[in-house]
Amino acid sequence: MISRILVPMDGSEMAERALEYALENHPDADVTVLHSVGGPTMMMGQAVALALEDDLEEAAHERAEPIFERAREIAARRDRTCDTIVEIGHPVRPIVERSENYDTVVLGSHGKHSEGVTRQFLVGNVAKMVFQRAPVPVTFVR
C-alpha cells in the first residue's frame, strides 16, 4: 500500500498533472511536493542570481513559494493538503536521496525547461535519471 508519495514540481504543466495524478489515485496517501531552486539552466541565470543572495535559504524559499502555492491550490480542490520541501541545486540528487523515505515518486515526464529548440536535448532528462537511480517505484505522468 502506498502511504507516502514524493512529487517533484518545477512549475510545469506536467508537474501539476503529476500532483493531480498522485492526489486522485492515492486518496489516503500523504503527499510531499519537492521543488529544487537554482538548478542549472541553459544560461545559468537562476543559479547565478541565487548565489548572489545574502540569505540563500530564505531566497530559495521565496522562489519556491509560487510553486508551493499552486500545489496547495491543486490539493485544496480535492480537499487534501500537501507538505512542501525546498532544495537548492539540480533536482536529481535531492529527489533520489529523499525518495528513500517515500513509497513512490510521481513526476512529470518532462519539465519546464523542455520546450522549444532544446526540447530534444532535455526531454525527460531529470525523469530518466530519477527512474534509473531511485530506490522506490517511479511513476511518470504526461
For the chain, give the mean pLDDT: 84
- In order of start, what are the domains of the chain with their CATH numbers? 4-141 (3.40.50.620)
pLDDT tens per residue, range 88-116: 888 899 999 999 999 999 999 876 554 44
Compute φ and ψ for 141, nearest 5 degrees.
Answer: -120, 135
Cell numbers 525527460 label which residue? 124
pLDDT band at 58, cuts 50/70/90? confident
pTM above 0.95, yes or no: no
Q: Could you write out the DSSP letters of every residue in 69-95?
A: HHHHHHHHTTT---EEEEEES-SHHHH
